[in-house]
Structure 1
Amino acid sequence: MPDVPLLEVRDLVKQFSARPGGRRTVTAVDGVAFDLRPGETLGLVGESGSGKSTIGKLVTRLLRPDRGEIRLAGRDISTLSGRAMRPFRRDVQLVFQDPYSSLNPRHTVGDILGTALRVHDTVPRSQVAHRIRELLGQVGLDPAHAGRYPHEFSGGQRQRIGIARALAVGPRLIVADEPVSALDVSIQAQVMNLLEDLRAELGLAFLFISHDLAVVRHFCDRVAVLYMGRIVEIGAREQIYADPRHPYTQTLMAAVPDIAWLRGGSPRRIRVPSASPVAAEAGAQRSGCRFRARCPVAAPVCASSEPALTLRAGGHRAACHIR
């Protein structure tokens, strides 16, 4: 795998107004940094509200960051205007969570794919129809169905159409935001196998956003764990799942349904206060470790200073004073 990153994110910050027109702001992404190399898959995991989807929108420049750098193939795209961003849109594409609302119901599948091809001028107009058929076949759909509308397809088929649309312009990076969470379990497996095949065939890099730890473990090379807008742990898949170092990561792993008790064992559980991240933030989390109000091993030092994301063995990084 090449050593030169395809995507470099440095000190990324994004804030939103807590109320329309109000002065109080909520920091959704707070100093996030990571690299992504060509052909690599990085999973972003964490609770709802941790900032995963916001990072995806920042990387695709659907949102403009308040601070930080987003370097794509060495060029900072974080401050580019809409017109200047157009050449980079081909390199970064998004697969949305909801295959029902992400496709225009008034357009046929051929129109949906053809629009992407014509806007980015990726193939001569005389070859657009051929390319549409090729894309449908590539994602496992019948090319003869290009004249159908989205409502004539199942949920899994619609997500395949969304993947075909992302592939249409020949991207190098795909941001997949919960791409299988709205699908049945059996269909999830089919779509994930399709993404794995496309990754191997086309050399695609993925920023994969998901709540499903089993899917992330199957698909991703590395995993970044987010809590309240910050990365608290990042490392290779084997490191994160076999030896999680941050108490929050351990909590996530322990929350996965465990049937050990059916076999006579004791289910692994780590009990933490049930307060949500937003509630914890409101409870005097102005300094120190932002997980300390829920952490089972918190110490006085956790209240006085925020732990840095420090390097452990094998490139594994964790932000914890205790572990």
Structure 2
Amino acid sequence: MSNLDVRPAATVTGGREDVSAAPVHELLTARTVPLGEATVVRRLLPNLGRRMVGAWCFVDHYGPDDIADEPGMRVPPHPHMGLQTVSWLHDGEVLHRDSLGSEQTVRPRELGLMTSGRAIAHSEQSPRDHARFLHGAQLWVALPDAHRHRDPAFEHHAALPEVTGGNGLRATVILGELDGARSPGTVYSPLVGADLTLAAGTSARLPLQRDFEYAVLTMSGAAEADGVRLPPDSMLYLGCGRDTLPLTADVDSSLLLLGGEPFEERIVMWWNFIGRSSDEIVQAREDWSTGPRFGTVQGFDGPRLPAPTLPPTPLKPRGRTR
């Protein structure tokens, strides 16, 4: 789960000053980014209009892609620090390998959760014998300062709790808690991630927490959230102050709900690293290029991913929204 931009922008974000305390409607559109050797993703976070939702700081949506005669996803070994990665699939499989020695195939509606802590490396690829279609999302969660230097870890959860809202709505709780159902995935800040399935004709209300900020993004179909139609490749930022979220769908649809307490700390994101200063980012890049800090990923057939060149100018804070 990587940011493979060859010229990644450095972003300083976090803090509460740009969080809407009241309900809002901000419809964000994705930009297209290549991922690895054969996959193209639509990036929804960070976005020119919104950089974080709670601790969620990175969202890529890909597929559905027909990879019957293609290798599918192939992301070489690359490093992470200061974050958690979340692998979420609707179709296909992704083989995860990391420098802890983990090797796990993640399948649809299973949670692959990697906590980078101070340093980890991993690779992701479609297995040699894979399904015809590949469709999913890749997400990051920023770790708060108290936990960002912890030991790295990987979790795989094949069974996740569900919430049935009636009237055609079913929610799978990926991370955090929703309507009393809690995911077994480890979290380090108050947040929620849920996969929402809406049957054609759905008209339902999903309970929310007023002190969380929320966003919903379209995985398939074209549902409405609080009366706003969500076209493909879009994310609707909803702000805070909501007790419920009205959801309707004329056709079978699927959404991802992301939310959490506004992330108070200011963070620096560059490439696949999250730190608190530009010096930390510079050191992480140097350690990936020359040292053993991130470990070695075994089993991937090919070289690891080289780090891009750092920007020539100092980092400039740009806030959560611009």
Q: Same fold (TM over 0.5)?
A: no
Q: Which has the higher strand share?
A: 2
Q: Which has the larger radius of gyration?
A: 1
Q: Which has the higher helix share?
A: 1
Q: Which has the higher contact order (CA 8 A, sep 6+)?
A: 2
